[in-house]
Amino acid sequence: MVFFRGVSALSKLRSRLVQQPSLTSTVRWLQIETSSDLDLHSQLKELIPERQERLKKLKSEHGKVQLGNITVDMVLGGMRGMTGLLWETSLLDPDEGIRFRGLSIPECQKVLPAAKPDGEPLPEGLLWLLLTGKVPTKGQVDALSKELRSRAAVPDHVYKAIDALPVSAHPMTQFTTGVMALQVQSEFQKAYEKGISKSKYWEPTYEDSLSLIAQLPVVAAYVYRRIYKNGQVIPKDDSLDYGANFSNMLGFDSPEMHELMRLYITIHSDHEGGNVSAHTGHLVASALSDPYLSFAAALNGLAGPLHGLANQEVLLWIKSVVDECGENITTEQLKDYVWKTLNSGKVVPGFGHGVLRKTDPRYMCQREFALKHLPKDPLFQLVSKLYEVVPPILTELGKVKNPWPNVDAHSGVLLNYYGLTEARYFTVLFGVSRSIGICSQLIWDRALGLPLERPKSVTMEWLENHCKKSA
């Protein structure tokens, strides 16, 4: 109804142009500002038909082009290295790192709007970039931020669902429960039950996705305050942007912590489609499960220690170093502790990556943040020493393809410095961030009509027989 009222109002203005030609420029400005420029939904409505045709052409003209050979190692190694997913929002290069719609993290830091001059990118700006492929203006980001705030109210039944769990339940368990409780409001489910056309699937998916992204910080903050702050909830502040509001609801009102949260959410938002959480979200959504169901599944993947839970493990391990050796640990002592960890059959958390073959750019931008804001922090100095000590040891070990630090090696130390010391909660922050990438791609999954994901599986006997025939 709002849209039609807007059209009606513009029509009346157009009819007055004959008598008042001076209004032409005003109407042109009104049309841009109200129907396209500041409205993300309108931008997508313009982009989607072109992308649909592009996909159709790609499939019809190049559908039989081979992308590579699948080996037995790939099948047995968790499909590692197989090219098998379309993921529009980001691309991960082993040597270069992540690019969001073609832009590296340093480039995003330069061109995406910030809350203050030379500040960190606003997550709302990255959401706009991932969805449209275009760098937004500050006006577009402010409009999107306002829209997200308008969608952020969380129904009471969500809090009741979380409260039904023991306070001792892991923060990710409580967070995922909250997301599942939000599912009852799904616009996609309602539209599907009414018989919506497949060509319009993306629109209720868009509504669900933006509402989910908007509500996640509120749910996540509630979980944090319930577990660690005696249930003393801090309401959202409609004067703050997405990252600052989340930080504030957690109980951290430092401007530097607000900047860290903006950076954290931005760099953790997406990492192409093959990681566990992103792939899980895409897989579940391919069955036409709504964004809430799909993202809840993604969160359960993120909660595994080989994925998102690693950021918890890093800080706990670093604190174990300090507990045993003190903050002023020497390089030689640190080498001994690293070897002790490895010789006990454990890994050094925060080092290595399934795809990257260099230092994670997300690690580097956090390091730059630390050098700017907390260069003398003892834990940061320890992280810096680990950067020098661990890669040569892992290289000497000869079993690690990538001995360099990843994103998890740094984030916990930054959060700890500003007072967010509860390591068990860190993966919830990761989950809030990852919603931006997963939901952006999910909207495009629906817009492009991507099919049910159904790879072929084989038995060990089949592989053995196939290899005998090949020999």
Could you confirm whether 271 is annotated as catalytic?
A: no
Question: Could you give the CA distance from residue 310 to residue 412 in angstroms, rounded to a whole number?
Answer: 10
Point out the catalytic residue in the list 170, 258, 268, 307: 307
The phi, psi pair for 95, rounded to 5°, reads -100, -25
In the sheet that holds 90-93, the strands lie side by side as 90-93, 97-100, 103-104
Question: Could you give the CA distance from residue 360 to residue 273 in angstroms, rounded to a whole number?
Answer: 17
Question: Could you give the CA distance from residue 101 to residue 133 in angstroms, rounded to a whole number?
Answer: 6
Question: Could you give the CA distance from residue 285 to residue 269 in angstroms, rounded to a whole number?
Answer: 18
How buried is 343 (Cβ within 10 angstroms: 0-12 exposed, 13-18 middle, 19+ buried)?
exposed
What is the token pair recorded at 311? 């950021």
CA angle 263, 205, 279 (to 5 degrees): 60
User: Of 378, 380, 310, 385, nearest to 350 (Cα)?
Assistant: 310
Point out the catalytic residue in the list 353, 360, 410, 445: 353
Contact present, 55 and 448 (Cβ < 8 Å): yes
Residue 438 makes CB contacts below 8 A (sequence gap 6+) with 270, 277, 278, 281, 282, 294, 295, 298
Secondary structure of residue 121 in the 3-state scheme: strand
Contact present, 278 and 271 (Cβ < 8 Å): yes
Could you confirm whether 163 is annotated as catalytic?
A: no
User: Of 312, 339, 320, nearest to 408 (Cα)?
Assistant: 312
Question: Could you give the CA distance from residue 279 to residue 274 in angstroms, rounded to a whole number?
Answer: 5
Name the strand (E) or helix (H) holding 92.
strand 90-93
Mutual angle of helices 408-417 and 255-267, in 10-degree steps: 160
Could you confirm whether 353 is annotated as catalytic?
A: yes
Question: Could you give the CA distance from residue 354 to residue 37 in angstroms, rounded to a whole number?
Answer: 39
Mutual angle of helices 202-228 and 156-163, in 10-degree steps: 50
Mutual angle of helices 202-228 and 426-448, in 10-degree steps: 170
Point out the catalytic residue in the list 241, 360, 408, 445: 408
100 DSSP β-pair partners: 90, 103
User: Of 281, 300, 302, nearest to 446 (Cα)?
Assistant: 281
Contact present, 348 and 342 (Cβ < 8 Å): yes
Contact present, 277 and 301 (Cβ < 8 Å): yes
Residues with catalytic function: 307, 353, 408
